[in-house]
Amino acid sequence: MNSKFNHFKPYILVALIDALTTQMYIDIFSNNFRISIAVLILPVIYFFNRKINPIIASAFIGFSGIIFRTIIELNEYGSVLASLTADYQIFFFDIVYGLIYYFFLFNKKDYNITTWLLVVLSGDLLANIVEVILRIGINNIVEFSDKIYILFYVALFRTFIAIVMVLIIQFYKMLLLKTEHNQRYQKLLMHISDLESELYFINKNMSHIEEVMYKTYDLYESVDHFDKHKIKSKALVIATDIHEIKKNYLNIYNGIKEITDKDKTINEIHVFDLLNILFNNLKKMESANDINLKLSIKNDYVIKDSYYFLSIVRNILMNGIESLNDSRIRNKSITMYEISSNEHYLYKIIDNGKGIKKEDFEDIFNPGYSTKFNKGNGDSNRGLGLFIVKELVENIYMGEIKVISEIDKMTEFTIMIPKNKLEVLQ
């Protein structure tokens, strides 16, 4: 029950806003035809909330508008039926407006403000014409046609005010975003500085590991020549060194964890912003210059453990880029899109590169597996990218990852993560 209410809550809110703002109006033409500021606010709401379905919203707005006017004008008309029939035409205005917005804009998530402006203007004008015709009757259309320019000017004025509102809101949001980005950048610099110190100790520990490996091999080579006491002595030294290495790495781990825990606001970011930052950065890479990177995300939310999610998506995208760089096809592309269900988010990442052999499907998620190597010196890539991806998906987000592929055609990774593991509850 709660999930259904939450689904319809935005539509109820839009309908209430519309019902209230409809009361601010002027009468023109007669026949109870009103020009209100509701249609000025509605397209602004749609512009910034693109998940709201205009047809569903129009149904809510139409019914609530009729009910609201019927109650308010009950004393004037004397009966519920008379009050209802006096204003039923507003329902058709709302439906026509919603249909125009739905068919021209709703399914285009990447439309620009110019397209939005033209649709809002035409939707306002056509919906008003339909309402006026219903009010004055089909026999009076010829008389009304001489005054249609008034409706055009009204639609133009309301669209102008709406676009001014959109631009003001966008400008304000950009200011907030710029301030937030500056704060994040400053904090990031501090974190990088702290991490550099930890990297120094990691490098020092690696040298220590090499020394222990040398001592271990020396013991192995010389074990036949040493007595029992000397072997025990050397083994104790090695064990002590290993314990020291473990202690150092524990200190390094705690240091890095302290750094990442310093400011949780850096780790909590909207998924739309996170993926846009990633895609924009990848597009600037020389290796991705001739690859068409496409992103289609409908749901925006604050994401848990954003660094982990970023690592998952980035590793898969980098695999796709490398696969396409080895491919000879002309129209290279990688697409990421999202499917949402009641319980899960499903993310699909598809490239049209060289593909993966079926017998390798299981191995690609194993540590050390790699098809990438330097032809000059024979060094293989460390092969941890997809292993890390699988570990993070399954152990951090309790999700699943699957892959399908066709040689020289496509590779598709599907990541399914429970919503309650991915979203930060507001």
For the ranges 49-53, 222-226, 283-287, 333-337, the maximum mean pLDDT occurs at 333-337
State phi, psi for 344 to the nearest 5 degrees.
Answer: -130, 155
Q: Are 179 and 133 in contact (CB under 8 A)?
A: no
Q: Are 37 and 25 in contact (CB under 8 A)?
A: yes
The string of DSSP codes covering 358-372 is: GGGTTGGGSTT--S-
What is the average pLDDT value for the chain, to the nearest integer?
A: 79
Give the fold, CATH level 3, of 269-422. Heat Shock Protein 90 (3.30.565)
Tens-digit pLDDT profile for residues 159-207: 888 888 888 888 887 887 777 666 666 666 566 666 666 676 777 778 8
CB atoms within 10 A of CB 355: 18
Q: Which residues of 302-326 are buried (b: 16+ CB within 10 A; e: fewer)?
A: bbbbbebbbbbbbbbbebbbbbbee
The continuous run of DSSP H or E covering 27 comes out as strand 25-27
- The pLDDT value recorded for residue 190 is 60
Question: Identity (one letter) of the amino acid at 120?
Answer: V
Q: How confident is the model at residue 38 (pLDDT cuts 50, 70, 90)?
A: confident
pLDDT at residue 381 tops 50: no
Rounded Cα gap, residues 97 and 58, in angstroms: 8
Rounded Cα gap, residues 10 and 280, in angstroms: 31
CB atoms within 10 A of CB 18: 24
pLDDT at residue 380 tops 50: no
